[in-house]
């Protein structure tokens, strides 16, 4: 009997050790529009329990980059969680031109779904356009769907794409009602804890709160003066300066959308995260759970104000406190040694070009979109009179109208080649354009190629992307105002983002070795001892996973 029981007990003990070797909860934090330099520039004003805790007690990759273009929100969130790029996971933008439907589509738009939590709202969404599995999907598959996966964000795409195809739920803010809602993709009715949170009217509380600086404004020495000509001015204000009386401004500036465009969007999401941790009992089950959080307000404020604004600095000082609040809650609910956190960003951001131009630094603006489409169609009339050759220009990509080449099947191929060459040369000659790539050029390239072309290749999906794509010169953006800024380029100011690991199984330290953002997902996969996402092209970060 002893000979039988000893191997049995030994085997059960091994299973117990294996279970203990994994975290009870993984928390993936994506900050929408965060430069790596924000960790350094604002460091003296951060508290000890937020970003500094992750930096000093965890492991920081100081040279992490996106390895494709365009560097934008939906593509970034998808790449973090799939371990691959738009060429494979298919999320080539927040919106793009659908060649079959002949219209623009949203990355999470799903007409088969309906909103849950409101009768009318942005709830017709799901992750169905994401072509690869995510680390959250793979965790669900590994545990026979016993793990719980929850995703939250202000933006629908920031909640849905990280949570993956098999998520138990994803929640985002409905700007019309101020409520956190979901989709019939997940269930038909909001859980009681979400209904309770919505009934507390916390969105209404923040909507009528004055946004002033956390510290005396004279201490914001890491930013430009508050009164700057490079910042968007809200309707009802003469200047983009503190304070922002949201109660007086919200009616003319989008209601709850204005609240999300302030630091209070992060405060609200943090409160909702606290409610989700408790309401879902995350980290309390027999299997590892996964909680994805995407803070959207840094991006919304950053677009309006630019990276050197007092408003952006204040957002990050407050976000630092939000991170601390979250970590304290995790300590209490899950236990300090029982959870794993990673923090990164979906992209960084360009400086306001006009501020560079005024300082004699090369920069500028190139307006694409409808205006550029009309310009190209007019140009092609000389060679192809009477034909509308261009369907649209979006995400710095040109989509030809296939119907315009259908009249003469024998000559259609020649016409397309001629039109492609004409448009490529026309765009290349424009001021501010660095390089132009046709579909044929991209086909001849290699996925692992370096330089700008390599990033274009890794961001190009042959079924969804346009016929021609182009990259602007450093400092140039596709933007229709001299106030505010954007992101999306292949340059380091858009690609260089934080990558922090903290918690169970993570040693203290840092590394300046270059790592692509696609290395994050396989690293988490190794730590969880699960399969890599189906489209994964990244590699585990040896500084994290190598125990030798």
pLDDT, one tens digit per residue, over 109-141 is: 999 999 999 998 888 999 999 999 999 999 999
Rounded Cα distance between 191 and 467, Å, is 45
- Relative to beta strand 476-477, strand 169-173 is unpaired
With b for 16 or more beta-carbon neighbours within 10 A and e for fewer, the 505-537 pattern comes to bbeeeebeeebbbbbbbbbbbbbbebbbbbbbb
- Residue 410 has a pLDDT of 58
Q: Any residues with CB less than 8 A from the CB of 278 and at least 6 apart, and which?
A: 193, 333
537 belongs to the catalytic site:
no
- State how far the alpha carbon of 470 is from the alpha carbons of 369, 394, 437, 441, in Å: 13, 11, 6, 12
Q: Any residues with CB less than 8 A from the CB of 150 and at least 6 apart, and which?
A: 163, 167, 168, 169, 170, 171, 276, 280, 282, 289, 290, 291, 292
Half-sphere exposure of 398 (CA within 13 A, CB side): 30
Cis upstream peptide for 243 (omega within 30°)? yes
φ/ψ of 169, rounded to 5, equals: -170, 155
Beta strands in 66-102 (DSSP E): 95-98
- Relative to beta strand 59-65, strand 515-516 is parallel
- Residue 122 has a pLDDT of 85
Task: Please identify which residue in the block is written with the tokens 């009386």.
Answer: 245
DSSP-derived secondary structure for 163-218? H-TT-SEEEEE-TTT--EEEETTT-SS--HHHHHHHHTTHHHHHHTSEE--SS-GG
- Relative to beta strand 339-345, strand 433-438 is unpaired
- Residue 367 has a pLDDT of 82
Rounded Cα distance between 55 and 46, Å, is 11
Rounded Cα distance between 262 and 352, Å, is 19
- Residue 449 has a pLDDT of 96
- Residue 548 has a pLDDT of 59
- Tokens at residue 92, please? 């080539």
- Relative to beta strand 390-394, strand 25-31 is unpaired
Residue 407 has pLDDT above 90, yes or no: no
Out of 73, 85, 270, 469, the active site residue is 73
Q: Which residues pair with 437 in a beta bridge?
A: 469
Q: Quick one: which H or E segment has residue 433? A: strand 433-438
Instruction: For residue 374, count other CB atoms closer than 10 A to its CB.
Output: 12
Q: What is the DSSP letter of 234?
A: P
Q: Kindly state the percentage of the chain with pLDDT values over 70.
A: 95
Q: Which CATH class is domain 367-430+433-472?
A: alpha beta
Domains 21-59+105-348 and 367-430+433-472 share a fold: no
Q: Where are the alpha helices (DSSP H) in 429-514?
A: 439-443, 451-458, 492-495
- Tokens at residue 463, please? 């079924």
pLDDT in tens, 332-387: 999 999 999 999 999 999 999 999 999 999 999 998 788 999 999 999 999 999 99
> Do residues 518 and 84 make contact, with C-beta atoms less than 8 angstroms apart?
yes
Q: Where are the domains of the chain?
A: 21-59+105-348, 367-430+433-472
> Do residues 129 and 157 make contact, with C-beta atoms less than 8 angstroms apart?
no
Domain 21-59+105-348 falls in which CATH fold?
Alkaline Phosphatase, subunit A (3.40.720)
- Relative to beta strand 180-183, strand 169-173 is antiparallel
> Do residues 348 and 297 make contact, with C-beta atoms less than 8 angstroms apart?
no
pTM for the predicted model, two decimal places: 0.95
> Do residues 428 and 436 make contact, with C-beta atoms less than 8 angstroms apart?
yes
Q: Where are the alpha helices (DSSP H) in 459-518?
A: 492-495
Residue 190 has pLDDT above 60, yes or no: yes
pLDDT in tens, 483-521: 999 999 999 999 999 999 999 999 999 999 999 999 999
Q: What is the 3-state secondary structure (H, E, C) of 530-542?
A: CCCCCCCCCCCCH
- Tokens at residue 260, please? 């999300």
pLDDT in tens, 238-284: 999 999 999 999 999 999 999 999 999 999 999 999 999 999 999 99
pLDDT in tens, 12-54: 333 333 446 899 999 999 999 999 999 999 999 999 999 999 9
Q: What is the DSSP letter of 233?
A: P
Rounded Cα distance between 367 and 372, Å, is 7
């Amino acid at each position: 009997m002893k000979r039988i029981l000893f191997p049995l007990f030994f085997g059960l003990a091994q299973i117990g050790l294996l279970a203990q070797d994994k975290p009870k909860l993984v928390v993936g934090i994506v900050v929408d529009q965060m430069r790596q330099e924000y960790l350094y520039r604002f460091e003296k004003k951060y508290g000890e329990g937020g970003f500094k805790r992750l930096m000093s007690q965890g492991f920081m990759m100081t040279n992490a980059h996106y390895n494709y273009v365009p560097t934008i929100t939906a593509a970034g969130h998808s790449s973090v969680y799939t371990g691959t790029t738009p060429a494979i996971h298919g999320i080539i933008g927040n919106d793009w031109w659908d060649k079959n439907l002949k219209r623009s589509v949203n990355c999470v738009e799903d007409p088969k779904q309906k909103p849950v939590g409101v009768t009318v709202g942005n709830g017709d969404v799901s992750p169905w356009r994401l072509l690869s599995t995510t680390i959250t999907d793979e965790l669900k598959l590994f545990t026979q769907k016993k793990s719980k996966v929850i995703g939250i964000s202000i933006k629908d795409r920031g909640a849905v794409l990280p949570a993956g195809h098999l998520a138990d739920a994803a929640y985002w803010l409905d700007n019309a009602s101020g409520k956190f809602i979901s989709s019939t993709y997940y269930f038909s009715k909001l859980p009681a804890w979400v209904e309770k949170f919505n009934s507390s009217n916390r969105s209404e509380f923040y909507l009528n709160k004055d946004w002033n600086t956390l510290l005396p404004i004279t201490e914001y020495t890491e930013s430009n003066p508050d009164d700057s000509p490079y910042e968007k001015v809200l309707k009802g204000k003469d200047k983009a300066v503190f304070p922002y009386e949201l109660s007086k401004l919200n009616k003319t500036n989008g209601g709850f959308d204005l609240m999300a465009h302030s630091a209070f969007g992060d405060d609200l999401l943090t409160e909702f995260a606290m409610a989700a941790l408790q309401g879902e009992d995350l980290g309390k089950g027999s299997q590892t759970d996964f909680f994805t959080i995407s803070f959207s307000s840094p991006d919304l404020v950053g677009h309006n104000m630019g990276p050197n604004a007092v408003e952006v600095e204040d957002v990050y000082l407050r976000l630092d406190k939000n991170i601390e609040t979250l970590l304290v809650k995790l300590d209490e609910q899950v236990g300090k040694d029982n959870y794993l956190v990673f923090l990164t960003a979906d992209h960084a951001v360009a400086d306001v070009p006009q501020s560079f131009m005024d300082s004699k630094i090369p920069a500028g603006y190139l307006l694409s979109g409808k205006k550029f489409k009309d310009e190209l169609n007019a140009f092609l009339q000389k060679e192809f009179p009477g034909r509308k050759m261009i369907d649209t220009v979006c995400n710095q990509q040109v989509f030809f109208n296939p119907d315009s080449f259908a009249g003469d099947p024998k000559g259609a191929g020649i016409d397309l080649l001629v039109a492609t060459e004409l448009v490529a040369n026309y765009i290349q000659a424009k001021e501010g354009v660095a390089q132009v790539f046709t579909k044929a050029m991209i086909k001849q390239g290699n996925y692992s190629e370096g330089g700008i072309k390599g990033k274009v290749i890794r961001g190009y999906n042959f079924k969804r992307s346009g016929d021609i794509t182009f990259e602007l010169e450093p400092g140039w953006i596709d933007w229709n105002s001299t106030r505010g800024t954007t992101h999306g380029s292949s340059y380091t100011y858009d690609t260089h983002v934080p990558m922090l690991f903290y918690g169970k199984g993570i040693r203290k330290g840092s590394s300046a070795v270059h790592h692509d953002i696609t290395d994050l997902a396989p690293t988490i996969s190794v730590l969880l001892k699960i399969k890599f996402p189906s489209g994964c092209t990244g590699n585990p970060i040896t500084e994290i996973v190598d125990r030798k």
